[in-house]
Structure 1
Amino acid sequence: MKIALVLIFVLSIAYVHLRGRVRHKLTRQLGDHSSFLAPVNSFLYLFSRHPAKPYLPVEAFPELQTLQDHWQEIREEARQLLHVGEIKKSENYDDVGFNSFFKTGWKRFYLKWYGESHPSAMTLCPRTTELLKGIGTVKAAMFATLPPGAKLVRHRDPYAGSYRYHLGLDTPNDDGCYIDVDGEKYSWRDGEGVVFDETYIHYAANTTEHTRIILFCDIERPLKYRWATAFNRWFSRNVMAAAAAPNDAGDKTGGINRLFTRIYKIRERGKALKKRNRTRYYLEKWAFVAALVLVFIYI
């Protein structure tokens, strides 16, 4: 049984690694968070209703038209939040999903995260939260900014239960502000939406002098069978929801982020060691991974 589970993990990681045209180095992929969810993601890919492509037509998700029809109202709320400083990086180590983005200047304001709307969002941007409540397939949403000169490094998002939707609100309207998904670039435009598969390797950059503001949503991945959809919703409700991060003290912090706050000191030690001695850092990292594998095999 254990051998079968190990084999499933290995084959799933190989599939995730080989999927798409752009790939991480194998050593990075093995330690990437997408590898830990590789069996779950492979299941979701197998039963996905849409073809495996970096970008999907927005028309395939007609429920999103409501957001596009009201993009100017949404933009006004986003602009006001930015003006008063509410679109910001986490003030504590309580946003494991996006913590690495903050150092480049990327900022966010959560509207919802795999559950109900954030109380702060309902207070500060009632119109946007009202619109989102009417779209059941939107599982998570936020306003996200990318300032001039900022970039997000190449990465995969860890969970394939959703597609990513970006709606341009206040953008440079310039090809110098773009996202690249599996080698294909898209530049944001005001009032225009794009849907892509965030589990392909992607990165973003803003080489202009204008801050980019978008509405950022996770849209439930349509699957072929009801039982597969039921599993996806169960996983979202019980695992993804645990990664909820707050805008302020009145919002809920999920269990994963409460744990992340406590263990971040270990990560800081690892980062310091990596700067000092990369060889020792990787030896310790892979020794730890090997120990976990041995524990799994022999217990």
Structure 2
Amino acid sequence: MKWVFVLLFVACAVHVHLRGRVRHRLGRQLLDHSTFMAPINVLMYAFSRVPTTPFLDDPGRHFPELEPLRANWPAIRDEARRLRELQHIKAADGYTDVGFNSFFRRGWKRFYLKWYDDAHPSAAQLCPVTTGLLRDIPSVKAAMFTELPPGSELRPHRDPYAGSLRLHLGLETPNDEGCFIEVDGQRYSWRDGQWTMFDETFIHRARNDTQSNRIILFCDVERPLRLAPVRAINRFVARHLIAAGASPNVEGDRTGGFNRLFKHFYALRLKAKGLRERNQSLYYGLKYTAVALVAAFIVWI
């Protein structure tokens, strides 16, 4: 029975790696968080009630409850502009955003509206229109304003969990082909008042090669699933695992358990980076030895 589970895990990990046209190098994929989430992600794909393609055409047809967001985009944009003027759309203060920490180094910024919970107190105070709209759409599990300034980029990556789909609603964009996101090699350029939805577990990247700023409303929308037990699994993982990634905008907002631990983990990561700079052979030798030991332990138990 143990070997059945091992083989199932390997099969799911291989499926996740080969899914789509764009793939990570095998060495990177072995250590990617999506590999460890592969069995549950394959379950999400298998029972999805919407297509499992990189982009989902016409989000409003699949998710009619989202239409108030598009209908009220000018009011949402006004609140986002006000936040930018106040410099609240920004990188995290310290190491309090494990999910997006690497993005800040290349210019990306954010302001959380909600994260698998009700609105942050700061968001409810500063963005009453947007948080009010989101409160009436329970399928939106997470939302934020995100900014991609001129010259910024997000390197190729995939998100770890397939229990949601990602919605981008253009608020203040360059309206130019030079500002784009690519999902599994398919390119989309943001436009004011227009939206797109995609599966963030495909490898994707973004760039702003224009001279204008880009601000969007970014939402994670619960994936519609067949069968009540599968929906229950998705909500359990979201409530007890994904929700632990909550990150504050200001003091007084909730910080999830993962982010409370992140600063301690990052101190170790900095030491590992220092070792990599001094001795790459030793660094990668230790790294892959650790992976092999973990795999051996799993097989042994």
TM-score by length of 2: 0.97
Map 1:72-151 onto structure 2 (within 5 A). 72-151=74-153
**Structure 2 partner of 1:6:** 6
2-structure distance, mates of 1:24, 1:294: 24
**How far is the alpha carbon of 1:193 from its aligned partner?**
0.6
SS at match of 2:17: helix
**How far is the alpha carbon of 1:277 from its aligned partner?**
2.6
Map 1:142-221 onto structure 2 (within 5 A). 142-221=144-223
Q: Which moved more, 1:46-55 or 1:161-170?
A: 46-55
**Structure 1 partner of 2:64:** 62
SS at match of 1:6: helix
2-structure distance, mates of 1:173, 1:218: 23
2-structure distance, mates of 1:93, 1:2: 38
SS at match of 1:223: coil
2:299 aligned with 1:297: yes
2-structure distance, mates of 1:115, 1:138: 10
SS at match of 1:217: strand
TM-score by length of 1: 0.98
**Structure 1 partner of 2:45:** 45
2-structure distance, mates of 1:295, 1:224: 35
**How far is the alpha carbon of 1:161 from its aligned partner?**
0.2
**Structure 2 partner of 1:265:** 267
In the comparison of the two structures, how many residue pairs are matched? 299
What do the CA deviations read for 1:71-120 (whole angstroms, capped 9, x no partner)? 00000100010111101101111111000000001000000001111111
2:286 aligned with 1:284: yes
**Structure 2 partner of 1:274:** 276
2-structure distance, mates of 1:274, 1:189: 41
1-structure distance, mates of 2:43, 2:113: 29
**Structure 1 partner of 2:26:** 26
SS at match of 2:159: coil
**How far is the alpha carbon of 1:260 from its aligned partner?**
1.2
RMSD: 1.0
SS at match of 1:55: coil
1-structure distance, mates of 2:277, 2:214: 32
Question: Residue type of the partner of 1:280?
Answer: L
**How far is the alpha carbon of 1:228 from its aligned partner?**
1.1
1-structure distance, mates of 2:273, 2:153: 20
**How far is the alpha carbon of 1:288 from its aligned partner?**
1.1
1-structure distance, mates of 2:276, 2:220: 33
Question: Residue type of the partner of 1:16?
Answer: V
Question: Residue type of the partner of 1:103?
Answer: R
**Structure 2 partner of 1:35:** 35
1-structure distance, mates of 2:300, 2:15: 26
- The correspondence for 1:227, drawn from 226, 229, 242, is 229
Q: Which moved more, 1:200-209 or 1:264-273?
A: 264-273
2-structure distance, mates of 1:198, 1:275: 31
1-structure distance, mates of 2:273, 2:79: 38
2-structure distance, mates of 1:265, 1:196: 34
Question: Residue type of the partner of 1:36?
Answer: F
2-structure distance, mates of 1:273, 1:194: 42
Q: Is the 8 A contact 2:106 2:153 kept in 1?
A: yes
2-structure distance, mates of 1:22, 1:267: 28
2-structure distance, mates of 1:259, 1:72: 38
Unaligned segments of structure 1, at least 5 residues:
none
SS at match of 1:75: helix
% identical aligned pairs:
56
SS at match of 1:222: coil
Q: Is the 8 A contact 2:50 2:62 kept in 1?
A: no
Question: Residue type of the partner of 1:174?
Answer: D
